[in-house]
Homo-oligomer: A and B are copies of this chain.
């Protein structure tokens, strides 16, 4: 072992003077290549295989040797080459996530997955599907498969297509898919959540409630709509096709859907939007029509994305248990990576009503 190989990583503040910076950019420093397992092994005076066993914490090495090897690895700053690990059939401790980062809900979910992954010593790599979702994600799964141990997929449509395209034997978990056939899935209880929303509006006294649909390529959107319809009839609320306005989970869609509802001869007194983003769009439309939220029109969303609480007025909504969903997805994926069959192919998590400022009794506060 070379003397002087020890490296002291200095905290960022300590590098703020010219002398230190000069050292940082010293060509010799910059050229120092990233060390391989072979170098660790050479310094430790063992074979590469022994070094591999040591750093991966696997049996077949004595404690003494293991410690020495790990110390050396730390000192020279060894980091395993994931590409090589994966190529040779090993594990990379990396999970891939595929989703549309454009949407607030997915983005938030992805961040939660990242936290959940780090909590169990995995890193996360994200592939953001383009907004025009037509590019088949099969190749992307293959791509992530080449570097990650497993993939979590959040698609803007049902995943049968993906199942068809995907030929990897990689573990895959989906989120927000009710058909667990192709892959195990994590999903919030959309039906029960939408019932909570409707019940809330009903209890406030609303008899005529409009609904803005989501992207009905997704089961979650269909479940929410089903709950709306079911509760309308259960509570004896007015129900007609004109009260159901087509949206797409997006802002503009919500805006236009709300506009149609407001243009009715008898507009509703409350609007249930299939997700928060649609609700934001609806809010714009309501205000543009010269009405106030919530005095003239109650509004409830779904998802509880961070923005919902920050808006004025703050949006009443149904909360999806994002941290739990993320943890469940990661745990399920890790189990599959470890070769354990999923206990259940479909894990449903409960939702929760979050009452804020956009829902009041019909007719406004005064009534």
Give the interface of A toward B (CB within 8 A).
9-10, 12, 15-16, 21, 24-25, 30-34, 77, 79, 81-84, 86-87, 94, 101-102, 107, 110-111, 114-115, 118, 123-128, 130, 136, 139-140, 142-143, 145-147, 157-158, 160-161, 163-165, 167-169, 181-182, 251, 280, 283-284, 287, 307, 310, 312
Contacts and interface: CB of A to CB of B under 8 A. Distances in A.
A114 B130 contact: yes
Contacts of A101: 101, 107, 110-111, 126
Contacts of A32: 167
Given A83-B83, A146-B83, A21 B111 contact: no
A36 to B, nearest CB: 11
Contacts of A82: 83, 143, 146-147
A142 B21 contact: no
A169 B110 CA distance: 30
- 5 tightest CB-CB pairs across the interface, nearest first? A83-B83, A12-B161, A126-B126, A83-B146, A24-B164
Contacts of A115: 130
A326 B32 CA distance: 30
Contact of A34 (B84, B125, B168, B284): B168
A117 to B, nearest CB: 10
Copies in the complex: 2
A12 B137 CA distance: 12
Contacts of A102: 111
Contact of A25 (B110, B124, B163): B163
Contact of A143 (B24, B79, B157, B287): B79
A33 B251 CA distance: 41
Given A84-B87, A142-B79, A21 B160 contact: yes
Contacts of A124: 127-128
Nearest to A142: B79
Contacts of A284: 310, 312
Contacts of A21: 160, 181
9 contacts: A30-B169, A33-B169, A77-B167, A101-B110, A101-B126, A123-B127, A123-B143, A124-B127, A126-B127
A152 to B, nearest CB: 14
B163 A24 contact: yes
A77, A142, A310 — most chain B CB neighbours (10 Å): A310
A38 B285 CA distance: 58
Contacts of A168: 34
B126 A111 contact: no
A142 B280 CA distance: 41
Nearest to A293: B312
A140 B94 CA distance: 12
Given A25-B181, A33-B167, A181-B21, A251 B310 contact: yes
Contacts of A163: 24-25
Contacts of A31: 169
